[in-house]
Amino acid sequence: MLFFLGLQIYQIKNRVCSLISLQKTFQFKYAWRSYQRRFLEGFDIHFKDLHLHVVAPPGSGKTVLGLEMMRRVDQKTIVFAPTLTIRNQWEERMFECYVDKETCDIPLSRNMKQPAHITFSTYQSLHAFFKNEMEGDGEKLVAFFAKAGIKNIVLDEAHHLKNEWWKPLFALKALPDCSLIALTATPPYDSSQREIKKYFELCGPIDVEIGVPELVKEGNLCPHQDYIHFSEPDNAQMEYIEAFRKKVDAFVQQLLVDTSFKAFVLEHPFYAQTDTVLETIYEQPDVYAAILIYLNAAKTDILPGKVALLGIETEIIAIPPLTYSWLEVLLQSVLVIDRESFSKHEKLLKSIENTLRKIGAFDKQQLRLEGNKELYTSLTQSPNKLKSIQEIITFEARQLKNKLRAVVLADYIRKEFLESIAEEDLPTINKLGVVPIFHYLRASLAPDPERWQAANRQEKLAVLTGTLVIVHDRLRAHIASEIPEDYYTLSPLGDTDFLILKPKEKGKSHIVSVITALFTKGHIEILIGTTSLLGEGWDAPAINTLVLASYVGSFVMSNQMRGRAIRIYPKHPDKIASVWHLACIDPTVADGGEDVKKLYNRFDAFCGVSLQGPSYVENGPDRFGLPKNDFNTNRLNENMFSIAKQREQIKVRWDQAIASGTILVRELKLNFNETIKEKDTTRYKTQKVYFRKVIEFIVIEVLLLVICVLLYIVLLSNVLPREVALLFLVVALGVFIGYFPKMYKALLLFLRYGQVDRALYKIGEALLHAMYEKRLITTPFSKVTLDVQKIDHTEVTCFISGATVKEEVLFVNSLEEIVQSIDNPRYMIKEFEGLQKTFGFPKYYGVPSIFSEHKKDATLFLRHWMRYKGKASLLYTRSKEGRKKLLKARFHYLNTEGGFKTKTAAIWK
């Protein structure tokens, strides 16, 4: 009864609120930054569909932009934030930048049960309200907020959304005539495809992306550089990894000669009854391919008809070799997915399963031959990363001396190691965490006149977490003068000079503030903390060195943690920040292993300046110029430290890179996956196929042929001694024969791919004009430029400029759908070009999803394709014949030597 009485009161307030105009009441007190002004100038265009999705890094003023958008929408608004701290920041920024607190007459609320003209709340509160008061009923929730007059929803830090929060938020999207504004620093690109899809369904496509270069250019972020310190597993880890690899190799070799398993595979319906289960094969083409790949590796004769189904019609394309990933596809299918279908073979399958479990390659219904969870965890938590942190802090302390303000962030505290540990016992620590890092740094920062010139760096070390604070005894007086006695307790940490400060509940936030102030002033120079406390929301702009010892964090958390260090510090306008990342190399695999791959993937979340060579700003790991194979830990670390010494050069590189561009552009990067090793370097470059390469080899061969003919004439005319002429002829013929395979291979690759840059430009033209005809791009055509560039003879990139961010992203994503390996498109394009047909190289391209919903759209796209690319045909893959073509197309890409690898990137141009 009280609830509905309250609702009536708020309905009366709504009528009062309808007279309020934020456009008149709100007035921004300061000058807009250039990138903010540029965004606001296009606000009306972006907001046509009542959706606005803004991506901007920490420090860009997202909250202020959100308030300005609220002012321009000028409707009753509710703002959702992930934490109470961030919720409160909205109100603080509003009073700081728009309206005086004393004179503000705008009805405000922090309680969604009593919404005002502006309501600040949290996602947790919405979920609780939906679950309890609304009884989990979406229609009730919509009815409540509709009666409350909510016409605008703001989702702050939208990347934080958890599974249980989706339902009420999607329900709110049904509010009539309601607009939605989503603000985030990092879309959750490393989540599952399902989660990413839900995120973009809720927030809409990205309308505006504010890039780090713009913030550095404006002076809102400081110049900064990312570095990586590599380590290798310790002896115990190496023994475990090598033992695991040997067991897996032995298992694979045994499976290849296991007559029972061979017989089982030959009886598999996909092989034995292919024609009758074609529809199922088309749904699981990878399993069918894996069967043939296994049988081929097991030296079993495969019937020609089985291979023909995959589209292998010439001798040029062969069945690829058996790899762990292919064997995983086969075994995952028979051991887990379709196991019930093979009940009569249960004894054999159970035996294989037991073997896999014993070697640690099968757990929780998941097969992992490349490496199990324990192996990956052993790398991410490698104790040798503690030595990496020790080396980094020692290096930075020597460089910055008393200007050092370093923060080390870890995922866990590890209180089990809290007791005092002698330096000689440090190797017994086998886990990464706050306390282990503290002990390692305490030992390396101990008084040492030779290293620290009589200064005791150990005194400047501290720990700050939500439940554990450690400070040096020297800070006892500072603590006592700043924090009330009943807020904490102090106790000595063993026989060290450090104290354990235990905060009481009421003193937690105050203690964080005091420790942060001591760090800012330099009483503390090295602060170790947890990502949960210091990773987001914590503000200490004095940081100039950050070590990320976190391995749990996602793209989102990585970006937030990094954002702590790259903020400007007004008291030191010349601040330059170093951000150190850690990776443990698995020396048993060529690409460095899972920890290296995970770190490389993290770099997709943010932009930075190139480490060496030409200065440019780009996201991803390419800007580091690191090897793809053949990691040499010592050489890599020496190079990193050598570059990091030149701290002042970081600002120079940023200035050079920023001067070379004006805007952050989304582009598609395309290269070949065939690599060649250059002389005198461990760097592997991607081999590009140019027409001039073919011409070069042909010219060499023709010259050699002419020389051979001339030498043969000389041999017959007796101008030179017969033995000498014969020797020269043999040498010339040998060189001719030696160059012939290179010419043949280059010719085949050229015929297969054509001139990549020119072909990519034509594809881009076809896509761009098709998007214009379908009105997916509405920016005037005269303002949009299509560009294809070659980069350092290693890559080709394609992008459009002059369009909106939403249009540029849609173009790049659609272009990637076209040129990447065939997965499961609704429509495909099949084309032949000249001699490619003669050599049996059909080209398959996926029709992008924006043209795949209806045949008329796919036909529209084909028309533009034929206009710019040449003769082609459209294939519908949802029919029986289409599925067959799709299977051939997918296997065609599996067999493509030097095939395309694609990647979308953000680069300052």
Whether residue 13 sits in one domain with residue 111: yes
Q: Please give the pLDDT value at position 678.
A: 33
Q: What is the mean pLDDT of the chain?
A: 84
Q: Is residue 319 part of a domain?
A: yes
Q: Please give the pLDDT value at position 520.
A: 95
Looking at 736, 752, 768, which one is the last position of a domain? 752
Whether residue 758 sits in one domain with residue 744: no
Q: Please give the pLDDT value at position 672.
A: 46
Q: Which residues is 670 bridged to in the sheet?
A: 796, 902
Whether residue 571 sits in one domain with residue 437: yes
CATH number of the domain where residue 31 is located: 3.40.50.300
Whether residue 171 sits in one domain with residue 70: yes
pLDDT tens readout for residues 97-120: 999 988 888 999 999 899 999 999
* Res 682 pLDDT > 50: no
Angle between helices 633-645 and 384-400 (to 10 degrees): 20
The 8 Å CB, 24+ separation contacts for 307-313 are 309/274, 309/281, 309/884, 309/887, 309/888, 310/887, 310/888, 310/891, 311/842, 311/887, 311/888, 311/889, 311/891, 311/892, 312/891, 312/895, 313/840
Q: Is residue 476 part of a domain?
A: no
Q: Please give the pLDDT value at position 673.
A: 44
Q: Please give the pLDDT value at position 641.
A: 97
pLDDT tens readout for residues 349-387: 999 999 999 999 998 889 999 887 788 888 888 889 999
Whether residue 37 sits in one domain with residue 174: yes
Q: Is residue 644 part of a domain?
A: yes
Q: Is residue 505 part of a domain?
A: no
Least confident of 5-9, 342-346, 594-598: 5-9
Going by pLDDT thresholds of 50, 70 and 90, the confidence category of residue 608 is very high
Cα(233)–Cα(241) distance, integer angstroms: 9
Question: What pTM, to 2 d.p., does this model score?
Answer: 0.83
Q: Is residue 371 part of a domain?
A: yes
Going by pLDDT thresholds of 50, 70 and 90, the confidence category of residue 746 is low
Whether residue 443 sits in one domain with residue 394: yes
In contact, 870 and 833? CB cutoff 8 Å:
yes
Looking at 752, 779, 796, which one is the last position of a domain? 752
Whether residue 636 sits in one domain with residue 758: no
Whether residue 128 sits in one domain with residue 35: yes
DSSP letters for 625-665 = T--SS---HHHHHHHHHHHHH-HHHHHHHHHHHHHT-SSEE
Please report, in angstroms and rounded to a whole number, the separation of the first and last CA atoms in the chain. Answer: 61
Q: Is residue 673 part of a domain?
A: no
Q: Residue 726's domain spans which residues?
A: 690-752
Listed in sequence order, the residues at least 6 apart from 777 whose beta carbon sits closer than 8 Å to its beta carbon are: 768, 771, 784, 803, 807, 810, 811
Whether residue 888 sits in one domain with residue 771: yes
Cα(677)–Cα(628) distance, integer angstroms: 11
Extract the tokens encoding 452.
């620290």
Listed in sequence order, the residues at least 6 apart from 902 whose beta carbon sits closer than 8 Å to its beta carbon are: 668, 669, 670, 816, 819, 820
DSSP letters for 446-484 = S--HHHHTT--GGGGEEEE-SS-EEEEGGGHHHHHHHS-
Whether residue 711 sits in one domain with residue 655: no
Q: Is residue 730 part of a domain?
A: yes
Q: Is residue 510 part of a domain?
A: no
Whether residue 80 sits in one domain with residue 111: yes
Going by pLDDT thresholds of 50, 70 and 90, the confidence category of residue 677 is very low
Q: Please give the pLDDT value at position 521.
A: 95
Q: Please give the pLDDT value at position 58.
A: 79
Helix (H) / strand (E) containing 492: strand 488-492
Give the residue with greater pLDDT, 21 vs 298.
Answer: 298
CATH number of the domain where residue 429 is located: 3.40.50
Whether residue 850 sits in one domain with residue 779: yes
Extract the tokens encoding 652.
């120079």
pLDDT tens readout for residues 235-265: 888 998 999 999 999 999 999 999 999 999 9
Q: Please give the pLDDT value at position 2.
A: 46
Structurally, how many domains does the chain consist of?
5
Looking at 721, 737, 752, which one is the last position of a domain? 752
